[in-house]
Amino acid sequence: MSNGARMRSLVTGRVAAIAGISALALTACGTGGGTGGSGGEDGDVVLEFAQWWEPELPDGEFRALIDQFEEENPGITVELLSGPYASTKEQVLAGAAAGTMSDVVGLDGAWVNDFAKQGAIADLSALMDEDGFDDSQLVSQVAVDGSTYMIPVVNFVYPMFTNDDLLSQAGVTAPPSTRTEFADAAQQITALGDNTYGWVLPLSLEAPNGVQNDVMSWVWASGGSMLDDGQPALTDNPDVESGVQFVADLWEDGVVAPGSFTMKEQDKVEEFTNGRVGMMIDSLAHVTTIQEANPDLQFSISAIPAEDGYTGERGIPYASWGIGVAENSEHKAEAMKLVEFLLSTETNTQLSSIANAFPGNTESVPDFVEDNELFATAFEIYQDGYPANEFTGLPVAEELMRQFGEQLQKTLNGDQSVDDLLTNAQQEWESEF
């Protein structure tokens, strides 16, 4: 079995290790009740759909898709409960604890394991079977104990961004494709001086997703895994050791922009946008933001460099707009119809197009692939590799990132070796599983 196939097979295992984006890009639900849908005045079913997606899309676009669903499914009305990610997260967490979750919910993969264990979200595998839905059209599914609880509707991938002007000034003729090429390019860019650095690495413990997007991404890009049968596998794992050692070596070489220990993702993007770093791993969702903030910045997108000599499929980090159904919903069959509608080929094409994201349906192709060269390149990377985010579906995923980040900071400070980092993080992770 290839590394890519091995990684994809984890989706149906105890915990989904792969589910196709960072984040882009993730956010969660807002105002409104949390008691689930009800019957309408004429006996129609009213579904509550709590999500953060609508505010992040062009005005009226998401409601138009929902209106289309209602037209195709007379007797079902959808009430959108929309708000920023933070408020949606609070509402969904409260609804999960109280058993008052909305019928359909937008999900962050980091919440799935806990919700599934609580019995707050429904078994989508069973609902798909009952409805005769063909799940082979899905790019990925997030499973716990062998059952699907979340389906990524659209994915926001995290490729490598390179500042074309800085690379040219440094004598680098093309974006690096191997770790050696990346390390060399980072040194040459840093050598330009004037507070310019080769790479940027956010390791804030307050928002520890840099461990996922900027550290473990090196492991996944070479087909590696930090898990073994859904369990932590940080020690005695050459793939993880080499990936983390590579990051430590870049730090030791002085090619990483200063301030990493308190830097968050938005700070990383600002450093790149202002031309202070030559390379970063970032969400495709930020392309437009960067272009609007600095129209003169010329940059390219490419696959994250792989270990020298690696020729297999490359994992690409992602963040998703995931979807699930509440266990407390009295209208699971109708809720599943909405899930399936959003994942149908035509609707998923429309949604991924307006979201500037990659589809959750294997047959969908977003419109922007033909209109934007950067997005077209990213889509080729996405199709040539596989979406990889092993934190998706894990218990207390954010805490796992934070624990690893704490150990990594100690290593970069010179207080311990990479082997000690992995041993300590392994012990901490095992206590959470």
Give the tens place of pLDDT for each residue, 407-431. Answer: 999 999 999 999 999 999 999 999 9
What's the number of domains the chain is made of?
2
What's the gap between Cα 304 and its chain centre?
15
User: What is the token pair recorded at 209?
Assistant: 């997703």
Are residues 299 and 181 located together in one domain of the fold? yes
Q: Examine the pLDDT at 30 and tell me if it is beyond 80.
A: no
Mean pLDDT of 178-203: 98
Which of 298, 315, 332 terminates a domain? The answer is: 315
**144 and 202 belong to one structural domain:** no
Measured between alpha carbons, how far is 287 from 273 in angstroms, rounded to an integer? 10
Report helix angle 332-342 to 345-355, nearest 10.
70
Q: Is the Cα dihedral 75, 79, 85, 86 positive or negative?
A: negative
Tell me, yes or no, whether 95 and 8 share the same domain. Answer: yes
Full-model pTM: 0.75
| C-alpha to C-alpha distance for 425 and 414, rounded to whole angstroms | 16
What are residue 148's DSSP bridge partners? 143
Residue 394 within any structural domain of the chain: no
Q: Is residue 151 part of a domain?
A: yes
250 with 176, same domain: the answer is yes
Q: Say if residue 7's pLDDT is above 50.
A: no
pLDDT value, residue 25: 36
Least confident interval from 67-71, 217-221, 354-358: 354-358
Q: Which two tokens stand for residue 363?
A: 């047959």
Instruction: State the pLDDT at residue 288.
Output: 78
**Which of the residue ranges 24-28, 148-152, 421-425 would you say has the lowest mean pLDDT?**
24-28
* Residue where the block lists tokens 């461990």: 211
For residue 256, tell me if it sits in a domain: yes
| Rounded distance between C-alpha atoms, residue 315 and residue 295, angstroms | 30
pLDDT band at 2 (very low <50, low <70, confident <90, very high): very low
The boundaries of the domain holding residue 367 are 3-157+317-387
CA distances from 86 to 17, 29, 30 (A): 24, 7, 8
- Confidence check: pLDDT of 195 > 90: yes
CA distance 373 to 415: 44
Question: Which of 293, 315, 337 marks a domain boundary?
Answer: 315
> Are residues 288 and 366 both part of a single domain?
no
Q: Is 349 helix (H, G, I), strand (E, B) or coil?
A: helix
For residue 15, pLDDT beyond 60: no
Task: Give the per-residue pLDDT at 5.
Answer: 37
The verdict on 133 and 250 lying in the same domain is no
Provide the 3-class DSSP secondary structure of residue 150.
strand
Q: What is the pLDDT of residues 67-120, one digit of tens each?
A: 999 999 999 999 999 998 878 988 999 999 999 999 999 998 888 998 999 999
234: domain CATH number is: 3.40.190.10
**Is residue 8's pLDDT more than 50?**
no
Token pair in block for residue 212:
């996922």
Same domain assignment for residues 226 and 79: no
Q: Alpha-carbon distance 124 to 148, whole Å?
A: 5
CA distance 96 to 89: 10
**At residue 190, what is the residue type?**
T
> What does the pLDDT read at residue 37?
55
Residue 255 has pLDDT above 70, yes or no: yes
Q: How confident is the model at residue 9 (pLDDT cuts 50, 70, 90)?
A: very low
pLDDT tens digits for 264-305?
988 999 999 999 999 999 988 788 789 889 999 999 999 999
Q: Residue 80: what pLDDT? A: 98
With respect to residue 405, please indicate whether it lies within any of the assigned structural domains.
no
Main-chain phi, psi angles of 387, to 5 degrees: -70, 130
Q: Classify residue 406: in a domain, yes or no.
A: no
The mean pLDDT of 225-239, rounded to a whole number, is 96
Tell me whether residue 343 is in a domain.
yes
CA distance 137 to 315: 20
pLDDT recorded at residue 219: 98
Per-residue pLDDT of 370-398, as tens digits, reads: 777 888 888 888 888 888 999 987 888 98
- Mean pLDDT along residues 33-37: 47
pLDDT at 28 over 80: no
Q: Is residue 111 part of a domain?
A: yes
Residues 6+ apart with CB under 8 A from 283: 21, 22, 23, 24, 25, 156, 157, 158, 213, 265, 319
Determine phi and psi for 185, rounding to 5 degrees. -65, -40
Same domain, 260 and 151: no
Q: Based on the domain organization, do 88 and 171 belong to the same domain?
A: no
